[in-house]
Structure 1
């Protein structure tokens, strides 16, 4: 197991994607992650499918490796006492309940920091724990719509489009991981933990980057440009003779090289296309000229020519193409683990390549309550009491 976060214990009360994705990264880095669900399993993704393998959801598998599983009824006093005991010896507690839920349960930050002043408490909600929207539920699709992301995705014909994955969940999970590790580093100086308040809405808006900056500077609403770039031309998709591809010209030197590759070198000297601002002003005309040239040969032909000239190029690959990609195979971006019910399961690996403390898969995505007895015994619970708690549906 990676040694990067060895000795860090994370109590993970999240479900679905943003929180579990964050805690999986921490687990990949060597933290001991204890995934807490209600008895029987309450992470909705366990039932999201198909596909399933022996009843195990592919969706659940994508964000839950390198964790232990504890089932606890948080509505019972005995269940909340288990959480309090775990907090005493944990470094991080992560939850994504609606605003106010942890306070109603009596395990909010103000209560838990009395038990462990060093605890880093990370809250993930749809809209944050302050402001007029704080009590609204937040789902990725809703956030993509409200954040402006959908308004700039798609084109004039398609209308607003969401991204093909739950990108605001992923962004929020990454921000949560950054915030938690920053708080742990600061704790080394102060000796104290703190609360990290993250929202899907804030995270999504942060991803507007240059588009948001363009509006703040100019006051002009951005157009939906589809597969075109707002500030760089040509930076878009083109059809080849047998497929689709992306050419991303980032500067004038690359454009000059591209003009040579398509055997129209004089295009680079044309006053309408000489500089990037010129090309942005005449994007439609330039795109038409380039499309006519690219349509004369195959994607593989243009891939070879563009890469030889150091012009950024990418074929539009299917997921099947991605899984077979030799570069990703070499980078070990697809990994497997033995699951007690589903057998061998395939997962997307970690992009974190650490030279001294490499990431690996030590634990399969756990079954509900798979480690409950182990965790409670380590807390000092005797077997008879554990059985009693199970009969009372506390665990």
Structure 2
């Protein structure tokens, strides 16, 4: 299926038509591609898409990380000849992924009913900004908008200093993850029914789902979570502690961990003090707990504290910039930076897949392709002759 030979992988029998752009949809397809699916990234021929460079140029870090392990073909979805090619693609495919605004798929003829009439086994995965219908359905989706609408920004940041966005595209990426999960569930169900189905999610739904216990605080108890800065919202002492030469993350959740911390810091009396002896008491006295701990942590370096706290089984960790993340011995052991050969940039490193399958492992097979790099090969697989490919190019359908 691919001109990049790979070992047997979990999804090597699956073909995916990737009609997506920006981040959420490409992230979904990246998961499938890294696990062996033949993901065909369909792109507009040069000059037809005014937003073609929205993620940067083809060799940029973002494009390489989002579109590795895929193949690319160009196709004009609005031209009659292009539509005919798309029909052939649909006949050969298992999954179509799109993240157009909800109404666009119907104009392009890639809605589920149209696709299922061509291939009843097809699975359509749709990712929108705010849902397939409802009052916000036609609004353009954007990660930070979903972060705000979904409640994340209201609980992020220092109390009193206004809302704060997360430092990565959490709504986009979680929507992509949930869409990939939906695709896999639909593939499994299809083994029983023999039929495809439409699965869809949105940035807004994904963001609310990612709020998890913070959302449940409101739904179950009627409590509106406030900002808590670097502290954990409901237990203490957790969060960022200053040290003699920087900072560390502290994660004391249970009373046993609290007692161990007090012993290590040379103040066992705090462990039995009624103001601090239980999670509830410490949370009620959060400012006083921090007032006591901060001067003690500032008496030693971050590295020393990490060694001391590990020895007494108190959860703690460093706070890294990205260069230090990938220099950490555990991260190196996990091989989270995967080398890939690129025709112009040489060997580059991309973020490795974080899920390990022992018998059919996933992984990056190749760098992101150039736009249309495999167009002729894919058309050949679909049964188009060399003359027919020439005619498609003349018609600017590919």
Instruction: Output the TM-score relative to the length of structure 1.
Output: 0.96
Find the counterpart in structure 1 of residue 351 from structure 2: 348
The alignment status of 1:13 with 2:19, answered yes or no, reads yes
Contact 2:22 2:55 in 1 (8 A): no
Contact 1:15 1:44 in 2 (8 A): no
Deviates more, 1:167-176 or 1:333-342: 333-342
Aligned partner of 1:368 among 349, 367, 371:
371
Find the counterpart in structure 1 of residue 3 from structure 2: none
Alignment of 1:161-310 (within 5 A): 161-310=164-313
The alignment status of 1:38 with 2:41, answered yes or no, reads no
Deviates more, 1:210-219 or 1:15-24: 210-219
Decide whether aligned partners of structure 1 residues 253 and 45 sit closer, same or farther in structure 2, where only a CA change above 3 A counts.
Answer: farther
- 1:45: Cα distance to partner? 7.5
Query: Which segments of 5 or more consecutive residues in structure 1 lack a partner in the other structure?
Result: none
- 1:47: Cα distance to partner? 5.2
- 1:272: Cα distance to partner? 0.7
- 1:319: Cα distance to partner? 0.4
- 1:153: Cα distance to partner? 0.4
- 1:384: Cα distance to partner? 1.9
- 1:44: Cα distance to partner? 5.2
Find the counterpart in structure 1 of residue 115 from structure 2: 112
The alignment status of 1:25 with 2:25, answered yes or no, reads no
Find the counterpart in structure 2 of residue 383 from structure 1: 386
Deviates more, 1:296-305 or 1:99-108: 99-108
Contact 2:270 2:276 in 1 (8 A): yes
Query: Which segments of 5 or more consecutive residues in structure 2 lack a partner in the other structure?
Result: 1-5
Contact 1:37 1:43 in 2 (8 A): no
- 1:151: Cα distance to partner? 0.5
Decide whether aligned partners of structure 1 residues 216 and 43 sit closer, same or farther in structure 2, where only a CA change above 3 A counts.
Answer: farther
- 1:9: Cα distance to partner? 0.6
Aligned partner of 1:320 among 323, 331, 351:
323
- State the alpha-carbon separation in 2 of the partners of residues 47 and 130 from structure 1: 26
Contact 1:22 1:177 in 2 (8 A): yes
What whole-Å deviation, never above 9, does each CA across 1:233-282 have from its counterpart, x for those lacking one? 11111100111111001211111111111111110101011110111100
User: What SS does structure 1 have at the residue aligned with 2:67?
Assistant: coil
- 1:143: Cα distance to partner? 0.7
Aligned partner of 2:153 among 130, 150, 153:
150
- 1:189: Cα distance to partner? 0.7
User: What SS does structure 2 have at the residue aligned with 1:63?
Assistant: helix
What whole-Å deviation, never above 9, does each CA across 1:106-155 have from its counterpart, x for those lacking one? 22111110111111100001011121111111100111111111000002
Decide whether aligned partners of structure 1 residues 38 and 191 sit closer, same or farther in structure 2, where only a CA change above 3 A counts.
Answer: same
- 1:102: Cα distance to partner? 1.1
- 1:157: Cα distance to partner? 4.1
How many aligned residue pairs are there? 391
Aligned partner of 1:57 among 56, 60, 79:
60
User: What SS does structure 1 have at the residue aligned with 2:84?
Assistant: helix
Contact 2:22 2:54 in 1 (8 A): no
User: What SS does structure 1 have at the residue aligned with 2:300?
Assistant: coil
- State the alpha-carbon separation in 1 of the partners of residues 265 and 63 from structure 2: 46
What whole-Å deviation, never above 9, does each CA across 1:199-239 have from its counterpart, x for those lacking one? 10000011111111111233232111111111111111110
- Aligned CA RMSD, in angstroms, stands at 1.5
Contact 1:271 1:278 in 2 (8 A): yes
